[in-house]
Structures are given as structure tokens and as C-alpha cells.
Amino acid sequence: MPEQILVVDDERDMRLLLRYQLEQEGYQIAEASDGKVALRVLQECSPGVIITDVRMPFMSGLELLREVKQASPNIEVIVATGYAEVETAIECLRAGAFDLVRKPFDIHEMYSCVARAVDRYRLNASADMVRMSQSFFATSEFSRIPQSIVEGSQNLMASDAALLAIPDMNGQLQLAHARGLSSEAEATLLRGLCEQVAQALAVDRTPALMGPGLLDRRLGNVVGLGKGSAIFYPLAVGDRLLGVLCLLRRDNQRIFGKRDLDRAAVLSSHVVLALENGRLACQLAASEQLATLGQVAAGIGHEINNPTAYIQSNLDFVDQQLRSLRDGKPVDLDEVALAVKDAREGAHRISDIVRDMRALARTDEDEAGGWFNLNDAIRSALRIARMETTQQASVHAELIDGLVVKGNPGPVSQVFVNLLVNAAQAIAEGAGERKEIRIIARRESDQAVIEVSDTGPGIPPERLHRLFQPFFTTKGTGTGLGLSISRNIVRRFGGDISVRSVPGDGTVFTVSLPAQAQTGS
Ligand code: ADP
């Protein structure tokens, strides 16, 4: 797409000359006869570069430059100055002019200056876009993606307000996040308009532009934006609506125009990717929970089978003793009582395991979490991962009583199951002599700190920083999600997780969680 250049000069011949020369170079030219006219033209088009004379009636080139840089800092301004205007020239540079061109100018010097300014404008625009897009994907908490999208889009498109509406389970558009809205009425108006754009998706999936003198069929005859302008972007993958992004500018100095639509088109493609990515990540978070269960399923079977067999044999013994009693044979009642006690213990073990599994699989817990006893979650994780761990190593737990932490026991126990199973798998890989897994908890002021360490082969330094990235795995059967999801879980509750490792000398994962103040201390 050719870059648009605005030429501002009160001398008509000069404007025509520049238009002729620059059109030859493939640029699209808009003209203005002074600074005030230029500001009006800027409401209708968004040039990447402005070439302005300094001395003009009504508004000088310097004043124009200042206004432009304040409203749209990305636009590059080239100032044409006479030889006698050294001081003005310096002021222009201070005010952010891209460069100065001396009048009367050498056209080749002008070409090269314009080309450099266009390059910088495009570079800045795409760098902004890349930065923003990266911020979407760097959002580790999926629930915060809408906020990151709204904030990024609002800044990038220099809008006063931005709003993202996303369909709920029933397909009804709901406000996912908004920023800069001035009133409830404005929010209701914009959300209603988002809905209209969404309803028309099947027939029109282009963005709707709304502003003074601009009418879009989908929006009907809306009043309420005053002098402001807005863009409504339907976000869709195929026929599936992901949401509508709305950007609003309230003043009539910077009305959204065609160029903004082009920029918003690129923006919306990043937003669509970020939303899809977030949706997928949420699904994966759920499937990771299942994968954790899958990983430990064999062990759990064993955990249940063992006491079941145990209960069975004890009950058989009791049965046999009862029959002896009925036949008048001698019976050792103490032995019978012991068998009943053992059977009961076995039943308790099974119900513990079932309770652990329930907690692990629960998805209906309060997002922010409450306070719970840390030892319960750790013990539950140790029980669940017992088969995996004890087959590979001896397991030592040093827990302290009364440590109450922030979170939900199910997800927190999932974190420890992940760490314990990883530790066991690492030890299974390594050829080290010592085969140990330690889980040690301690209190550090208002934090509970839990270390899970192993004597496995360790992790090379160049790999360490990738461990928490989703899908990073070195295992043939791994999902590479365990650690990234574990980090999300503990961060959700205000904690964190880190790793240190020396190749050949094992690995330590450190989990921290906010701890409740100790009573009586
Ligand atoms: P997965 O276990 O499915 O690979 P994770 O996110 O749990 O996914 O782990 C990512 C990677 O981190 C593993 O593939 C492994 O390379 C490395 N890793 C995790 N824990 C350990 C550990 N205790 N020792 C060595 N490497 C580990």
C-alpha cells in the first residue's frame, strides 16, 4: 500500500511541484495550504509523513509540528526551512521533527529524506504492533488476556476508550474488559453496537467505522457519540465469532479514518490469534489436569488394589473364624479384632485416595482461593504419586505443622504431583548412585516455601529458562504443560515457582505461597 504524504505549504506552486515529484516516486499526496487546513485534513486521512513549510499564515510549521506530535507521535514531520531560520530549525528538531530540508531544496535530497521518514514511520508502526502482540502472548494468566488486548489496542490505536466483548456459553456477547469508558450509558451504547456488528457477521465481516458523516448500515442511525468516532472490529475464525473489539476517540481532532481501519485490520489479526491461543490454553489446562491423573492412574490403581486385597484377606479370615465359632471350634478373638481393624484401615486408605482424586479433579473452586492446610495438599500429592516415586527413589518429607496457605488444595496438590512425578522420571533417567526425592516445607516470614529436590541428572543451563514454557518437553511421551500450568496455578494464588539445577547434581524446584500469619506470634 503506497504511503500517504501530506504537503503543507502556502505557496501553491511549491505544493504542486512536490506533488508531481513525489507521485512519480509512488507516494500518495494530500495537500494543505497552511497549518490549520493541515489539521483538518488530518481528520480525514492519516499520512505517515508530513512535509511542512515553516512560515505560513494562521499557524506556523513549528506550531503544526507540535500539535501533530502531541496527537500522533508516530507521524514523521519533515520541515522545510530557509537559510535564515536557524533558531526555528533548532526548535523544530527539539519538538521532534524527523529532519530539516533547506529551501530551495535539491529534489534528490528531498526524495532520500522522505524515503527515510517513511521507513522510520513503518518501522515504528510495526515495532509497536509486534510489542503489543508479544504482550498478548506473554500474558501468563489466560483470564487476563482480554485486559491485555484492551490495553494494548487502546495505546496502539491512540484511542480514548477500548472495549472487548466476547460471547458467553449461550452465544450472548458479554463485556470481557473495557478501559477509558466515561459512563454506564457509553458502555451500554458501545456494547449494543458491538452486538449489531456481531449479528451481521454472516453478511459482513468488515470493520464498521462510525463518526461524523459516516454511516454504516449495521449500526443504523446511532446518535450518542457526539463528535467522536469509533471502529468496531468483528473478530472471527471461519464463521465462529470470537468477539468484537471497539475503539473510541471522543474528540473531532483525530477522527478514525481509512488508514486506521487498515492498521486495525492487522491489530485484529493479532487479537484473534491471542484469543484463540487463550481459549486453547484453557482447554489444555483442563486436559493437563486429566493428563496428571492419567500419569498417575497406574499408581492409583495399585494404591487401591493393595488395600482392597488386604481387606479381602482380612475379611476371609474373619469369615473363616466365624464359621469355626459356629462349629464350636476354638477362636482367637484378639486375632479377629486385629483383622477387622486392619480391614478398616485399608478402607480408610481407599477413601483417602478417592478424596485426593476428587480434590485433584475439581474445577469448580473459587479462582482466587481460600486458606487451607498446606500439609493436606502435600500429603495428598505424596499419596497420589506414591507408585511413581517409590519405584524410583526413597522419598523424604519434612513438613511443619500448622502452615496455612492461600489457594485451593486441589490445584496446589496437582502442582506437587507434577513436581514429584517429574523428579521420579528424572531419577529414572539418571545413572546417579543416590536415588532420593525430598520435599521440605518451611516458613519464611509471610510465605510458605516448599522445595522439591531430586538426585536426578539435573538440567543444562541453556534449557533452564525454557522449562516453564508451554509445550517444552524432553520426554517422548510428555505434554510439556506440567510446569507451565503449575506456575499459572501458584501465581494465581499470589505465589511463584522457580528452579535451580546443577547438571550431574540434581534439581530443586521451589514453590512459594502466601502463608497465613501465625497465631500467637
Ligand atoms: P513434561 O513432564 O510433560 O515434559 P513439564 O512441563 O512437567 O512437562 O516439564 C518440562 C520439562 O522440564 C521436562 O520435559 C524435563 O525436560 C524438564 N524437567 C522437569 N522437571 C525436571 C527434573 N526434576 N529434572 C530434570 N528435568 C526436569
In tens, the pLDDT along 294-316 reads 666 666 776 787 788 888 988 99
Residues of the chain with CATH 3.30.565.10: 297-514
Residues of the chain with CATH 3.40.50.2300: 4-127
Q: For the domain made up of 139-283, give the CATH fold.
A: Beta-Lactamase (3.30.450)
Instruction: Identify which of 467, 468, 507, 511 to mutate to test ligand 1's pocket (most ligand atoms within 8 A of the CB).
Output: 467
Which residue has the CA at smallest separation from atom 20 of ligand 1? Answer: 422
Nearest to 425 by CA among 473, 379, 389: 389
Can you tell me which atom of ligand 1 is nearest the CA of 477? 3
Nearest to 363 by CA among 286, 284, 283: 286
> Cα–Cα distance between 460 and 448 in angstroms, integer?
28
- The pLDDT score that the predictor gives to residue 216 is 78
Q: Is the pTM of this model over 0.95?
A: no
Distance (angstroms) between ligand 1 centre and the Cα of 424 equals: 10
Cβ of 459 less than 6 Å from ligand 1: yes
Which residue has the CA at smallest separation from atom 12 of ligand 1? Answer: 467
Is pLDDT above 60 for 23?
yes
Which residue has the CA at smallest separation from atom 11 of ligand 1? Answer: 473
Cβ of 418 less than 6 Å from ligand 1: yes
Categorize the per-residue pLDDT at 495 as very low, low, confident or very high, splitting at 50, 70 and 90.
Answer: very high
Residues of the chain with CATH 3.30.450.40: 139-283
Cβ of 469 less than 6 Å from ligand 1: no
Q: Which residue has the higher pLDDT, 127 or 470?
A: 127
∠ CA 504-505-511, rounded to 5°: 130
What is the bridge-based pairing of β-strands 370-373 and 240-249? Answer: unpaired
Cβ of 456 less than 6 Å from ligand 1: yes
Identify residue 310 by its one-letter amino acid code.
Y
Q: For the domain made up of 4-127, give the CATH fold.
A: Rossmann fold (3.40.50)
The model's pLDDT over 229-282, given as tens digits with 9 standing for 90+, comes to 899 999 988 778 899 999 999 877 677 877 778 777 778 888 888 888 777 777
Cβ of 467 less than 6 Å from ligand 1: yes
Cβ of 475 less than 6 Å from ligand 1: yes
> Cα–Cα distance between 100 and 79 in angstroms, integer?
5
Q: For the domain made up of 297-514, give the CATH fold.
A: Heat Shock Protein 90 (3.30.565)
The percent of residues above 70 in pLDDT, for the chain, comes to: 90
Cβ of 497 less than 6 Å from ligand 1: no
The model's pLDDT over 171-182, given as tens digits with 9 standing for 90+, comes to 889 999 999 998
Distance (angstroms) between ligand 1 centre and the Cα of 302 equals: 24
- The pLDDT score that the predictor gives to residue 457 is 93
Instruction: Name the phi and psi angles at 426, rounded to 5.
Output: -65, -40
Can you tell me which atom of ligand 1 is nearest the CA of 454? 23
